[in-house]
Chain A
Amino acid sequence: MIASTTAALAISTTGLRKTYRNRKGRHVAVAGLDLAVPLGGVHGFLGPNGSGKTTTIRMLLGLIRADAGTMSIFDHEVPDRLPDVVGRVGAIVESPKFFPAFSGRKNLQLLAEAIDRPRGIVDQVLEQTALGERGKDKYRTYSLGMKQRLAIAATLLKEPDLLIFDEPTNGLDPAGIREIRNTMRSLGEQGKTVLVSSHILDEVEQVADTVSIIGHGRLLASGRVADVIGDQTATSLRVGVADPVAAHRILTAGGLLVRQDGALLVVEGFSDGAEITRRLAAHDLFVNELIPVRADLESVFLELTADEGLETVGVAR
């Protein structure tokens, strides 16, 4: 857990709760969330779909009301003092939303004028997000990647210190994903704080410095990415060898959990490839393929929820 010295935090929440009520009944989306996002760098907000990430972000931005708990951004209580800090916060919640019949430029011009930014800034941010030429086209003609870039351009109108991106790579092609991830990294390196929510472990591992993992609206783990995901993750190894039956026997005898997967063996919960190679070589079996298998979000979750003594968290990907 990150030490809760509020002074050095970009975002903090304590006991945050939100229950949605509709015709189908009540649904607890956020259930006492304590979140602490340090100043500077990229913070991953990791959790499976439906774990309450978007709901939390909406509460931070004053779009929906929390039922209980406190929140602050840069030490300003929100939503009460949100008007004081909102100028430093750029946010994209879920998919980008603009006026479809207006051009990208017109949409940005209206926003820039609303916060009293000089006129030139619109062209500047369009240029920054490589939309320059297409800025004059109607928003509804944009591809998803361009919409996402326009949304980023909109956040940059404020020259923000904190950027909040809610699953920004959803639905993008690989090039678009790489682009967005690079943008986030570079913003983090410029000293800005980036909060990026995601349900993809790899993504958080690639872009984030620190991470908070949530499930069922509660904090499960938080800290430096290497510590949280690295340590708590049970990785496994896929091993290719000429005689898998013999290798299976040897490794099992050595106390490892091994199962056969086609022509390969899978060693569960073990990530030391050198050790496997050494043990098999001792019996004249030579490894011709060795693939470390990254734990996916599901296994991290199973492990975290087991640690916390919570009931198993359902994971949808």
Chain B
Amino acid sequence: MMRLTRVELRRLFSRRLTTVALLGALILTGLMLFDSFQRAKPLSGAELASQQAQFDQAHKEWEANGAQMVQDCLTAQAEQQKTDPKAVFPCDQMEPNPATWGKPQAKFAEMMPSTLLAGSALLIFVGFLVGTSFVAAEFSSGSMANWLTFEPRRMRVYASKLAAAGLGLIPATVALLGLLTAGVWLIVHHFNPTSVTTTKVWGDLGEMGARTVALALAATLAGAAIGVLVRRTVAVLGIAVGYLVLVEGVFGQALQGARPWLLQLNVTAWLQHGATYYVDSCATDAQGHYTCQGVEKVLSFGHSSAYLGLLVVLALGLAALVFRRRDVS
């Protein structure tokens, strides 16, 4: 079993798709860092000057017409309140304020979570792709039959493939997450040396990183299991895209009650330790108007852990059953 896993690991990293996928992930990580760099970068002298000019312009406008602008705003608000009594327009915040005008200074605690979420999505996809193709290629090339004439104990073969895919991707996932985090931290501190990151923020980020690694591992294993079931990488990807578009997109929009069972929402809830989503709540009010309102709902971390865990266990178990009995030719 150890030996088989070692061989499978060697095969995993001899595959071009593995190299290409990891390189691609590295490049995308670089792009994310570049994006962070752009967002963190303070304005240049020329930009500052043009910003100041814009502010002066806005301020002059305010001096001249401010009273009228507030008046118009209040009128519009009153108009709106006839149909929607709760409507509030920001009429008291219309004066240009030099403190909020222009680009705020970069803060690690503000930039990192969203960057990490994007990075996680990437790593989960890479894990799934590498896992699925690692197994499916063996079926579609026919070399699985040959392999089984060297090691006929199917459960060992199955377990060694899963183990290799998982073990191979964990270090890569950790390394890329580390790179992303270190990169953003360095960028922020380069432009804003006074930015402080509390231990609480670091703790949260650490937990989110750990959850990303766990989910990327689960995606790799599930990908490998689906590879066993479907046996063709292209078919798996087709099914995955079709599922995301049709079920998660179209069906998920139409059938709001199904949202807690959508993969994307559960993945977000798992990564962010809970997620919110909106469903329309429609009713006829006292005046006989039929109105709909977005109601915020929470998908709990516990729900997503149980649901995603169940899905992965189901995929692994089903693939094991099928692989154990299937005719391989």
Q: A residues touching B (Cβ–Cβ < 8 Å)?
A: 58, 61-65, 79, 82-83, 86, 89-91, 93, 95-102, 106-107, 110-111, 113-116, 154, 158
Inter-chain contact B329/A58, CB cutoff 8 Å: yes
For the complex, what is the distance from the CA of A216 to the CA of B10, rounded to whole Å? 43
Chain B 126-149 residues near chain A, CB threshold 8 A: 137-138, 141-143, 145-149
**What does DSSP make chain B's interface, helix, strand, loop or mixed?**
helix
Q: Which 5 pairs show the lowest CB-CB distances between chains A and B?
A: A97-B142, A64-B327, A62-B152, A82-B152, A113-B7
Inter-chain contact B15/A101, CB cutoff 8 Å: yes
Inter-chain contact B16/A114, CB cutoff 8 Å: no
**Residue from B16, B145, B152 in contact with A83 in the complex, judged by beta carbons closer than 8 Å:** B152
Inter-chain contact B152/A97, CB cutoff 8 Å: no
For residue A63, which residues in chain B have a CB less than 8 angstroms away from its CB?
145, 148-149, 327-329
21 chain-A/chain-B pairs, Cβ below 8 angstroms: A58-B329, A61-B152, A64-B327, A64-B328, A65-B325, A82-B152, A86-B150, A86-B151, A91-B149, A93-B145, A95-B142, A106-B14, A110-B7, A110-B10, A113-B3, A113-B6, A113-B7, A113-B10, A114-B4, A115-B151, A158-B150
Inter-chain contact B150/A115, CB cutoff 8 Å: yes
For residue B60, which residues in chain A have a CB less than 8 angstroms away from its CB?
none
B153 at the interface (CB under 8 A from A): yes
- The interface bits of chain B over 101-144 (1 if a CB of A lies within 8 angstroms of the residue's CB, else 0) are 00000000000000000000000000000000000011001110
B190 at the interface (CB under 8 A from A): no
Closest to B137 in A: A99
For residue A110, which residues in chain B have a CB less than 8 angstroms away from its CB?
7, 10-11
For residue B3, which residues in chain A have a CB less than 8 angstroms away from its CB?
113-114, 116
| Shortest distance from the beta carbon of B52 to any chain A beta carbon, whole Å | 59
For residue B141, which residues in chain A have a CB less than 8 angstroms away from its CB?
97-100
For residue B137, which residues in chain A have a CB less than 8 angstroms away from its CB?
99
For residue B10, which residues in chain A have a CB less than 8 angstroms away from its CB?
110, 113
For the complex, what is the distance from the CA of A285 to the CA of B15, rounded to whole Å? 74
| Shortest distance from the beta carbon of A76 to any chain B beta carbon, whole Å | 12
For residue B329, which residues in chain A have a CB less than 8 angstroms away from its CB?
58, 63-64, 93
Q: For the A-B complex with A63-B328, A97-B142 known, give 14 more contacts whose Cβ atoms are closer than 8 Å.
A: A63-B149, A82-B152, A83-B152, A83-B153, A86-B149, A86-B150, A93-B149, A98-B143, A99-B11, A110-B7, A111-B147, A114-B4, A114-B7, A154-B146
| Shortest distance from the beta carbon of A149 to any chain B beta carbon, whole Å | 15
Q: B residues touching A (Cβ–Cβ < 8 Å)?
A: 3-4, 6-7, 10-11, 14-16, 137-138, 141-143, 145-153, 325, 327-329
| Shortest distance from the beta carbon of A78 to any chain B beta carbon, whole Å | 9
**Max chain B Cβ within 10 angstroms of own Cβ: one of A65, A79, A113:** A113
Closest to A90 in B: B149
| Shortest distance from the beta carbon of B81 to any chain A beta carbon, whole Å | 66
| Shortest distance from the beta carbon of A30 to any chain B beta carbon, whole Å | 13
For residue B146, which residues in chain A have a CB less than 8 angstroms away from its CB?
96-98, 111, 154
Closest to B138 in A: A99
| Shortest distance from the beta carbon of A197 to any chain B beta carbon, whole Å | 15
For the complex, what is the distance from the CA of A90 to the CA of B149, rounded to whole Å? 8
For the complex, what is the distance from the CA of A115 to the CA of B147, rounded to whole Å? 10
For the complex, what is the distance from the CA of A79 to the CA of B7, rounded to whole Å? 24
For the complex, what is the distance from the CA of A286 to the CA of B153, rounded to whole Å? 68
For the complex, what is the distance from the CA of A83 to the CA of B151, rounded to whole Å? 7
For residue B143, which residues in chain A have a CB less than 8 angstroms away from its CB?
97-99, 107
For residue A86, which residues in chain B have a CB less than 8 angstroms away from its CB?
149-152
For residue B152, which residues in chain A have a CB less than 8 angstroms away from its CB?
61-62, 79, 82-83, 86
Closest to A96 in B: B146
Closest to A158 in B: B150
For the complex, what is the distance from the CA of A164 to the CA of B153, rounded to whole Å? 20
Closest to B156 in A: A83
Closest to B157 in A: A114
For the complex, what is the distance from the CA of A82 to the CA of B156, rounded to whole Å? 14
Closest to B160 in A: A114
For the complex, what is the distance from the CA of A224 to the CA of B328, rounded to whole Å? 33
For residue B151, which residues in chain A have a CB less than 8 angstroms away from its CB?
86, 114-115
Given A101-B15, A110-B10, A114-B3, answer yes or no on A61-B150 (Cβ-Cβ < 8 Å).
no
| Shortest distance from the beta carbon of A100 to any chain B beta carbon, whole Å | 6
| Shortest distance from the beta carbon of B321 to any chain A beta carbon, whole Å | 14
For the complex, what is the distance from the CA of A201 to the CA of B329, rounded to whole Å? 26
For the complex, what is the distance from the CA of A83 to the CA of B148, rounded to whole Å? 10
For residue A154, which residues in chain B have a CB less than 8 angstroms away from its CB?
146
Closest to B328 in A: A63
| Shortest distance from the beta carbon of A73 to any chain B beta carbon, whole Å | 11
**Max chain A Cβ within 10 angstroms of own Cβ: one of B16, B147, B152, B327:** B152
For residue B327, which residues in chain A have a CB less than 8 angstroms away from its CB?
58, 63-65
| Shortest distance from the beta carbon of A57 to any chain B beta carbon, whole Å | 10
For residue A114, which residues in chain B have a CB less than 8 angstroms away from its CB?
3-4, 7, 147, 150-151
For residue A107, which residues in chain B have a CB less than 8 angstroms away from its CB?
143
Closest to A109 in B: B10
Closest to A164 in B: B149
For the complex, what is the distance from the CA of A97 to the CA of B7, rounded to whole Å? 18
For the complex, what is the distance from the CA of A21 to the CA of B153, rounded to whole Å? 25
For residue A102, which residues in chain B have a CB less than 8 angstroms away from its CB?
14
For the complex, what is the distance from the CA of A114 to the CA of B2, rounded to whole Å? 10
For the complex, what is the distance from the CA of A182 to the CA of B16, rounded to whole Å? 38
For the complex, what is the distance from the CA of A274 to the CA of B150, rounded to whole Å? 54
| Shortest distance from the beta carbon of B326 to any chain A beta carbon, whole Å | 9
For the complex, what is the distance from the CA of A107 to the CA of B16, rounded to whole Å? 14
| Shortest distance from the beta carbon of B163 to any chain A beta carbon, whole Å | 14
For the complex, what is the distance from the CA of A58 to the CA of B137, rounded to whole Å? 21
For the complex, what is the distance from the CA of A95 to the CA of B148, rounded to whole Å? 15
| Shortest distance from the beta carbon of B111 to any chain A beta carbon, whole Å | 40
| Shortest distance from the beta carbon of A162 to any chain B beta carbon, whole Å | 12
For residue B11, which residues in chain A have a CB less than 8 angstroms away from its CB?
99, 110
For residue B149, which residues in chain A have a CB less than 8 angstroms away from its CB?
61, 63, 86, 89-91, 93
